[in-house]
Amino acid sequence: MDLIIPSAGLIFWQLFGFLALLFILVKFAWKPMLASLAEREASIDGALKLAEQARNEMANLKVENEKLLQEARLERDVILSKAHDASLKMIEAAKSESSKQGALLIASAKAVIETEKKAALTEVKNQVALLTLEVTEKLLRKKLGDDKAQVELVDQFIKDLKLN
Amino acid sequence: MTRKFLVLSLLFSVVLLNFSSVSFAAGMEAEEGKEDPTEFIMHHIKDSHEWHFVTVGHTHITLPLPVITYASDRGFEFYNSSDFQDPQTHKFGKEFAHNGIYIDDHDHLGRADGASILDFSITKNVVMLFLVIAFVLYISISAARHYQKNGAVAPKGVASFVEPIVIFVRDEIALKSIGPKYKKFVPYLLTLFFFIWTGNLLGLLPGAANLTGNIAVTCTLAMITFVIVNVNGNKNYWKHVFATPGVPAALLPIMVVVEFIGLFTKPFALMVRLFVAITAGHIVILSFIALVFIFESYSIGILSTIMVASINIIELLVATIQAYVFTLFSAMYIGGAVAEHEHDDHH
C-alpha cells in the first residue's frame, strides 16, 4: 500500500464507517446529550435568577419590616404619652374631686356637730335648770323652815352677788 | 529515584558497551542480515492486508484479515489474506497468486490476467477504524445514557469526562467559529473531534495501526467537511467566490480562478495537515526505535528509549492538538460558508 496515494478500499470503508458513526452518535449520543446540557444550563440559569429575585424580595421585605417597626414604635410612643397625660389628668381630677368632697364632708360634719352640740347644750341647760329647780325646791322646803336660815341664805346670796 | 536509576543504567551500559556490541551483533548477523530501517518504519506506517504484531525468532505472530475483491466480470469475492502469502515468511508476492488474484510485495492487489480489480479488503487500518468507531461509540453512548437515566443532572463517570469536551467543542469551537447558526453543526464537529482524537491516541499504542496518519482517512474526512461546507454555503459565500466584492472587474477572471481553487485547497490543507502531523510523529518514534537495531548497543537503547518516551508524551499533545485543529478549521470553513455579513474587511 502506498503512503501518499489514498487507496479506494480504505476511502470506502472510512466513508461508510464514519458516516455510520456520525448517524448513530447524532441520534443516540449528541442529540440527547446536548439537549440535557441545554436543559441543565437553562435550569441553572432559572435557579440563579430565582435566587436573585428571592434575595431582592428579602431585602425589600426587610426594609418594609424596618419601616413598619419604626411606625409601630412611633405609634407606641404617641399612645404612651397620651396615656400618661390622660392618667395625669385623671389623677389630678380625682385629687381635686376628693379634696372638694372631703371639704364638703368636713363642713357638713362640722355643721352637724355644731347643731348636735347646741342641741346637747340646750338639753343639758334645760336639765340643769330643771335639776336646779328641783334641788332648789327641795332645799328651800327643807332649809327655809326657819327664818334664820332664810336670812342667812339671803345674805349668802347677796355676798355671792357682790362677789360676782 | 528516577534520576538515580537513569544514572545507574547509563553507567551500566557504558561498562557493557564493548562486549555487548560484539556478542549481540554477532548473534544478529547470523540471521538473514539486518532489517532495513526504512522498510521497518514504512511497514508500521502503511496499511497492510494482514496485521503483523511481532516476530519471535522466525515465527511471525499476525492476524490474517479478510480480502474482499470486486471485478466487473467476477463480482465480489472473499478470501483470507493468508491465501496470498508464504506461510513461513508471511511475505506477499505475485508468486503466491490464488484463484487468479495476487497481492504483490508492495501490498497491492492485482489480477494475474492484468484486468482491473477493486480492493475492498478489511485491511489493518479498516480493523483499526472499526476499533476506533467502537471505542467512540462506547464512551459517547455511555455518557449520553447517564443523562437519559438521570435527567439533566451533574455529570458522573464517563459523562464527566465527555461533557467538558462536548461543552468545549460546542462553545469554543462551534459557537465562536460558526456564529448564531452553530447548533446544526455541533454533532458533526463532535463526531469529528472524538473520531480523530481517539484515532490519534489509539494509533500511539504499540502494534496499533496508523489510522489517522493514513491519507485515505484524512482525505475522506476532508471530503466530508468539503461537502458540508459547500452544501451549506449561502448567497454571500458563492458571491464571494464568483464575484468577489471590492475587486476591479478586470481582475475578476483571475480572482474567480483563485477563489475557485481556494475551495479545494481548504480541504486539501485539512487532509495534508492531519496526515503529516500524525505520520511524522510515528516516523520520529520509529526512527528512534530503529536506532536500537542499527547500533545494537545498550547506551543507544537507553537513550532512544528516553527519547521515544519523551516524544510519545509530545505525541499525546499532538494527538489532541491535531484533533482540535481539524475540528476548528472545519468549523471555520463552515462558519465562512454560513456567515450572513460580507467579508469586505478581510480582502
Q: What is the pLDDT of residues B240-251, one digit of tens each?
A: 888 888 888 888
In a domain, A60, yes or no: yes
DSSP-derived pairing of the beta strands B101-103 and B109-111: antiparallel
**Inter-chain CB proximity A12 and B120 less than 8 Å:** yes
Residue B265 has pLDDT above 50, yes or no: yes
Residues 147-206 (B) with a CB less than 8 A from some CB of A: 147-148, 151-153, 162-163, 166-167, 170, 186-188, 190-191, 194-195
Mean pLDDT of the region A96-115: 92
Vertex B118 angle, CA B117 and B119, to 5°? 120
Q: How far is CA B203 from CA A15, B89, B289, B330, in A?
A: 19, 26, 16, 22
Distance between B213 CA and the closest CA of chain A, angstroms: 9
Q: What is the pLDDT of residues B61-110, one digit of tens each?
A: 888 899 999 988 888 989 988 888 888 888 888 888 888 888 888 888 88
State residue A136's pLDDT score.
80
Distance between B289 CA and the closest CA of chain A, angstroms: 20
State residue B33's pLDDT score.
47
What does pTM read for this prediction?
0.74
> A161 touching B, CB under 8 A?
no
**Percent helix, strand and coil across chain B, each rounded to 5?**
65, 10, 25
Return the percentage of chain B with pLDDT > 70, whole number.
88
**Inter-chain CB proximity B120 and A20 less than 8 Å:** no
Residue B29 has pLDDT above 50, yes or no: no
Mean pLDDT of the region A41-59: 94
Report the residue from A3, A6, A9 with minimal CB separation from B120: A9
State residue B34's pLDDT score.
56
**Inter-chain CB proximity B216 and A26 less than 8 Å:** no
State residue B23's pLDDT score.
38
State residue B216's pLDDT score.
94
State residue A15's pLDDT score.
95
Q: Which three cell numbers stand for residue B284?
A: 520520529
Q: What is the pLDDT of residues A64-84, one digit of tens each?
A: 999 999 999 999 999 999 999
DSSP string, B207-273: T----TTSHHHHHHHHHHHHHHHHHS--HHHHHHHHS-TT--GGGHHHHHHHHHHHHHHHHHHHHHH
Q: What is the pLDDT of residues B271-297, one digit of tens each?
A: 999 999 999 999 999 999 898 888 888
Residue of A24, A28, A33, A37 for testing the chain B interface, max B β-carbons within 10 Å: A33
State residue B22's pLDDT score.
38
Q: Which three cell numbers stand for residue B155?
A: 455529570
Q: What is the pLDDT of residues B38-51, one digit of tens each?
A: 888 888 888 888 89
State residue B107's pLDDT score.
85
The whole domain housing A55 covers: 8-163
| Closest among B111, B104, B120, B113 to B69, alpha carbons compared | B120
Task: Please identify which residue in the block is written with the cell numbers 441545554.
Answer: A38
Return the percentage of chain B with pLDDT > 90, whole number.
45
Q: In this predicted model, which residue has the larger pLDDT, B58 or B175?
A: B175
**Inter-chain CB proximity A39 and B140 less than 8 Å:** no
Q: What is the pLDDT of residues B166-213, one digit of tens each?
A: 999 999 999 999 988 899 999 999 999 999 999 999 999 988 899 999
State residue B308's pLDDT score.
92
The number of folded domains in chain A is: 1
State residue B157's pLDDT score.
85
State residue B20's pLDDT score.
40
DSSP state of A146: S
**Inter-chain CB proximity A25 and B170 less than 8 Å:** no
Return the percentage of chain A with pLDDT > 90, whole number.
60
What number of H helices and E strands is found in chain A?
A: 3, 0
> B122 touching A, CB under 8 A?
yes
In a domain, A92, yes or no: yes
State residue B21's pLDDT score.
41
| Closest among B320, B343, B334 to B175, alpha carbons compared | B334
Q: Find the radius of gyration of the CA atoms of chain A.
A: 64
- The mean predicted confidence, pLDDT, of chain B is 85
Distance between A57 CA and the closest CA of chain B, angstroms: 28
State residue B287's pLDDT score.
92
Residue B121 has pLDDT above 60, yes or no: yes
Q: What is the pLDDT of residues A112-150, one digit of tens each?
A: 999 999 998 998 888 888 888 888 888 777 766 777 777
Report the residue from B47, B148, B224 with minimal CB separation from A7: B47
Q: What is the pLDDT of residues A22-37, one digit of tens each?
A: 999 999 999 989 998 8
Chain B residues touching A8 at Cβ < 8 A: 118-119
Q: How far is CA A128 from CA A124, A131, A153, in A?
A: 6, 5, 21
Q: How many C-alpha atoms does B76 have within 13 Å on its Cβ side?
A: 6
In a domain, A107, yes or no: yes
In a domain, A2, yes or no: no
Residue B15 has pLDDT above 60, yes or no: no
State residue B12's pLDDT score.
58
Q: What is the pLDDT of residues B139-153, one digit of tens each?
A: 999 999 888 888 777
Interaxial angle between packed helices B124-150 and B186-203, expressed in degrees from 0 to 180 and rounded to the nearest 10: 130
Q: What is the pLDDT of residues B315-346, one digit of tens each?
A: 999 999 999 999 999 999 999 999 886 554 45
Q: How many angstroms separate the CA atoms of B10 and B12, rounded?
A: 5
Q: Which of A93-107, A146-160, B215-229, B285-299 has the lowest mean pLDDT?
A: A146-160
